[in-house]
Structure 1
Amino acid sequence: MVIAHRGFAGQFPENTVRSVRGAAAADAAMVEIDVQPTADGDVVAFHDRRLDDGGESRGVTDERGVVWERSTATVTSARVLGTEERVPLLSEVFEALPPAVGVNVELKNPGSDAIRPGEALGEPAREAARRRWQSFVTSVLAVADRFEHDVLYSSFCEGALAAVDSVAPGESLAVLVEPGGADAGATVARRYDVDAINHPLAVLRADATLPASLQTAADAVDASRYVWTVTDWRAADRALASGADGIIADYAGLTAYRDD
């Protein structure tokens, strides 16, 4: 399976209607997009904390400020990467995609700086994290439920997965594993009986095998395994040689050489 990372972010302005349409036209099986709220509580497709280049954000748009502190009108009028593409609502992403194309919704941020990505939380921290995410997750699910697409909900944050599991048990979940977080990822995978483990290429050992804890967890919950973020055919080859079920890629066609 080829999952288009932010809508093949190497080819199109990321997380936009143009990118998801381009990914669908390039035969991606699934499109991965990031979501977070605006100050008005609407769900938008956007990755960074800020619209500008403050902090660790990259200056993706011509607007300024923290996404969840700006109005929906401000966020959705922001131009992406110097193009005429705007930051879309999550509903616009779904509307732009044929129902046959799946959507990997990465739950990026619920509107808080206290989200603790990459951790397997103990109690009561896990319950506090679930509560922090629950309102936003409910809004995301309400949008997705209006459409027919298969949806996989992923996150680096256990609180996000806990909230989905609480609000809508049975939805497909994926744990996103940090480069140094194999053990934490394995714990979260088991805790929520996830459908997929999305892990970085860097977590693979020299012989293209997984760390034992992550492989054992994947086997225990019978999870599919997708490797991020793949940017060239060599990385795609290494990912697939590891036995992965697919790649989360910035470009289309990275596995085409295998069909030669």
Structure 2
Amino acid sequence: MDTPTVIAHRGFAGVAPENTVGAAVAAAEYDETAMLEIDVQPAACGTPVVIHDERLDGARDGRPLTDASGLVWETDLEDIQTTRVLGTEATVPTLAGFLEAIPETVGVNVELKNPGTTDLRFAESLAADERDERREVWTPFVERVVDECAAFDGEILFSSFCEGALAAVRELASSYPAATLVWDDLEAGLEIARRYDCEAIHPPRNAIVGTGLANAEYAGFSAGAPEIDVLEEAHAEGRTVNVWTATNWHQFAALAEAGVDGIIADYPGLGAFSSASS
């Protein structure tokens, strides 16, 4: 059994404050880490910053997400850069600062999270007459992200749950690989991957046939065997399948046995017992 590529989810968010430079630098030091997964949105000035939630207030496992409040894209960049993450001294980085801080020997999966709007059309396969409009919504932000990524000599993979983001990537930066993220609809995910000839598709862990992980509700999918074998179909079409998110070694081992190409993981070391468990 081949060991899947390990992608550090938000910089191994299970052991460090997510999407921060410190988390990324620490994650890159593990030999197993092939890629870091991060989320980007714009500050009020349009500068891409690395943060997952659209609001600065909120909580993660009982900790305040940050010590600020309000929508990310309505907040001044200076205020965002001094915002502390999850009760630590770590702050929200710009994408440029993040990329400058990490070694170019590790790749970066840049998830295009939000262009600065509450109207995302999240995880939808769009009708033909809607695609241009949604691409235009994303284009200004994607241009900024692509410009920042140009200075990084390591591998970059763009991903998104939003078709408009992938359409903008294909128009502005077709030389970069792209991946569609799947939420609650495997058919829609495959349609979008085909429409933009995405090199990869990123389904949730319970969408992989035969793993037993499908017995749990997750990512908008109810418990039960998936109706589509996304791994088989994607591989038949030459696409890489990177699955999110493994939180323990049992999940990692099951996904590795199934033959996925990459696993987006919250913790380092989850693959250590995969061979022994197969």
- TM bracket (short chain): over 0.9
Deviations 1:145-185 (A, max 9, x none): 0110110000000000000001112210011011x210100
Matched-pair contact (CA < 8 Å) for 1:34–1:107: yes
Q: How does 1:109-258 map to 2 (within 5 A)?
A: 109-178=114-183, 180-207=184-211, 211-212=227-228, 214-215=230-231, 217-258=233-274
Deviation of 1:204 (Å): 2.2
Other-structure match for 1:98: 103
Structure 2 gaps of 5+ residues are 213-224
Rounded Cα–Cα distance in structure 2 between residues aligned with 1:25 and 1:11: 13
- Supply the AA of the counterpart residue of 1:232: N
Matched-pair contact (CA < 8 Å) for 1:190–1:220: no
Q: Residue 194 of structure 2 aligns to a residue in which SS? A: helix
Other-structure match for 2:28: 24
With normalisation by structure 2, the TM-score equals: 0.88
Rounded Cα–Cα distance in structure 2 between residues aligned with 1:210 and 1:17: 37
Which stretch has the larger CA shift, 206-215 or 182-191?
Answer: 206-215
Deviation of 1:240 (Å): 1.1
Deviation of 1:117 (Å): 1.2
With normalisation by structure 1, the TM-score equals: 0.94
Deviation of 1:121 (Å): 0.4
Q: Provide closer, same or farther for how the CA distance between residues 83 and 207 of structure 1 changes in structure 2, counting only shifts above 3 A.
A: closer
Rounded Cα–Cα distance in structure 1 between residues aligned with 2:44 and 2:195: 32
Deviation of 1:213 (Å): 6.1
Deviations 1:184-223 (A, max 9, x none): 0010011111111111011123456864363464135311
Rounded Cα–Cα distance in structure 1 between residues aligned with 2:90 and 2:171: 35
Structure 1 gaps of 5+ residues are none
Matched-pair contact (CA < 8 Å) for 2:198–2:239: yes
Q: Residue 128 of structure 2 aligns to a residue in which SS? A: coil
Rounded Cα–Cα distance in structure 1 between residues aligned with 2:136 and 2:202: 24
* 1:78 paired residue among 73, 83, 87: 83
Matched-pair contact (CA < 8 Å) for 1:194–1:221: no
Matched pairs, number: 256
Matched-pair contact (CA < 8 Å) for 2:158–2:177: yes
